[in-house]
Amino acid sequence: MVTWKWTLTGFLLLSFGAVAQQPTDGSLSPHTNPARTAQAAGPASPESSSAQAVQPPPTTMDQVVDRAIQREHALMNFLKSRTPLVETYLQNLKPDPDLGAVPKEDHYFLGRIDLASVDRHDYLSKDENFEKNLLGGFIKLFRSEYQPMGFSWMIFADRDDFGRIHYDFKYSHREFAGDVRCLVFDVTPKKDAGKGRFVGRIWVEDQDYNIVRLNGIYAPRPRNAYFFHMDSWRLNLVPGYWLPAYIYSEEGDFSYGHKDKIAFKAQSRVWGYNLRQTGKEDELTDVKVDAVKDESPAAADASPLEAQRQRQQQAEYNVVVRLEQAGLLAPTGDVDKVLDTVINNLIVTNNLVLARPVHARVMLTTPLETFSVGNTIVVSRGLIDVLPDEPSLAAVLSHELAHIALGHNLGSKFAFSDRMLFTDDKTYTNMGFRHSPAEETAADAKAMELLKNSPYAQKIDTASLFFKQLSARAPQLQALLTTHLGNSFVTGKGELIRLATLEGTGPALDINKLDQIAALPIGGRIKLNAWDDKIELSKSAPVAIVTARDKMPLEVTPFFPHLARMNAAETPAAQKASADSPVDSANTPQHERLNPGTR
Ligand SMILES: [Zn+2]
């Protein structure tokens, strides 16, 4: 039996944002130094470091261009054995008299790409399907795609022909991108360079001359393909290399009298560069189970109840490890601790007695979902991104905690190792943690009771607004609200399924009330390390909301990451950025984003 030593923490009633900046044990630093982790993780780049060492610094802009071209080819070479996950979430837009462009419908794509085989011909295929042209056939949900995927145009400027033969480079100006001094060049394809060439701007950092940002489009457009404007960001996550991590795409013009057929905003994220490569479809992934500790008293056989609990714990461990291997679950880290604190607050104030501690983990995907397996509660990154504050986070967690408290244990079939033998792309078909409607109803009732006894009881209005917002936007955001492993929050028609009693409480949803923040835009809270999948809470300062159009609940917004060199992680500037003053979102309308200063 575990001894209970829970204590209430000091930041019990602070906003989520404030909690984020004050982890319980002050151990944020190990995860904010990607240099250390990347070096530990392996393939540093002797090739790049030594190559850089022998080359004298360029003295002309022409030499800078040559170095940038050379580094781009080195990056392609470095990544060619990698099969990262790529996720794209896209919202089609329609004009709204009050809010400007609002989502009309949405699409979600998740898969793995083989960077060895992408080339510029992928996106020049004859397929007329909109999505296929946008994503090069990348349409199946979490399917390992080892064929060319057509993503090259988003990840590299030109996979095949990036060089002076096909392009002209014109120096524009110097500019800081975050902490990184950059030389900015305009890139245009030469006459007769062929279709689908990059036209736009590149940002080249001034130390090793890697491209850190690409902004532009591909032209001219072939007859049967669409190209879209994109803003592609790279992060220095491995010594000497800047890895493609975030891509924002946008098309459409809603100015008066203008009629665009296609209007959308899309966020693409790349991660899992350093995942073990399970490789081909027929290669099965085995799960080691020997790390589960036997907690039964020494030299004693397990009692029937203990045996049952050990089996559930085994299953929980198997599932967590398997999801991590598939690149769907972040490694344990500080975001888990924030979630654990909120869970703890619910447990302690309700005097819940549980057989084992409950812990939270974060799934790396965008669709809003939660589920629990054994005593592990899993929350998606997208959901954490859009939750407006700590009480709404508590409401979401309370439902899963209720399942655990009521003994609604799912997934114990995964205690059998053979059930863990499947390829990564089959994760969503082989796993599932959905409860019956009866268990859902019971968990909701228990969750309301847990919330009522908790410190969040007085601030539950924002949670009720959050669920009202989900319900209001559900018909347009079905992809975002389609769960893959857990139970749904709402029906496609907008009928609230989860915690439906919250809908009847609190104020009415009113987009024009600026002090009402029901849900945040997507992508503002969690920063994902594309190399090792570690996550941390974003350090952006809150931005005041001035008009209803600033709210953008559950909407796609542009990426604007703060670029920094790996070894600069512990500079005074980086420390200053993390010392933002906590602001209670219940009183001050705010958005937290990747870089508020650039809006
Ligand atoms: Zn449930």
495: left (phi > 0), else alpha (psi -120 to 50), else beta? beta
Q: Which residue has the tokens 């501690």?
A: 357
Cα 399 to middle of ligand 1, angstroms:
6
Most confident of 248-252, 298-302, 346-350, 423-427: 346-350
Cα 434 to middle of ligand 1, angstroms:
7
Type and span of the H or E element at 574: helix 572-577
Model confidence over 456-503: pLDDT tens digits?
A: 999 999 999 999 999 999 999 999 999 888 899 998 888 999 998 888
Mean pLDDT of 294-320: 79
* Whether 156 contacts 162, CB under 8 Å: yes
Cα 443 to middle of ligand 1, angstroms:
6
3-state secondary structure of 205: strand
Helices H / strands E in the chain, number of each: 16, 17
Give residue 372's Cα distance to chain centre. 19
Cα 54 to middle of ligand 1, angstroms:
59
Taking 70 as the threshold, does the pLDDT of residue 208 lie above it?
Answer: yes
**DSSP state string for 54-87:** HSPPP-SHHHHHHHHHHHHHHHHHHHTT---EEE
Taking 90 as the threshold, does the pLDDT of residue 437 lie above it?
Answer: yes
Which tops the pLDDT comparison, 263 or 69?
69
Model confidence over 516-550: pLDDT tens digits?
A: 999 999 987 899 999 999 999 987 776 788 888 88
Cα 574 to middle of ligand 1, angstroms:
40
pTM listed for this prediction: 0.80
Buried b / exposed e over 451-485, threshold 16 CB at 10 Å, is beebbbeebbbbbbbbbbbbbbbbbbbbbbbebbb
Cα 408 to middle of ligand 1, angstroms:
9
Most confident of 112-121, 143-152, 531-540, 561-570: 531-540
* Whether 311 contacts 513, CB under 8 Å: no
Largest CA distance in the chain: 80
Task: Compute the mean pLDDT over every residue in the chain, rounded to the nearest whole number.
Answer: 77
Taking 80 as the threshold, does the pLDDT of residue 182 lie above it?
Answer: yes
Cα 498 to middle of ligand 1, angstroms:
7
Measured distance CA(572)–CA(575) in Å, rounded:
5
306: left (phi > 0), else alpha (psi -120 to 50), else beta? alpha
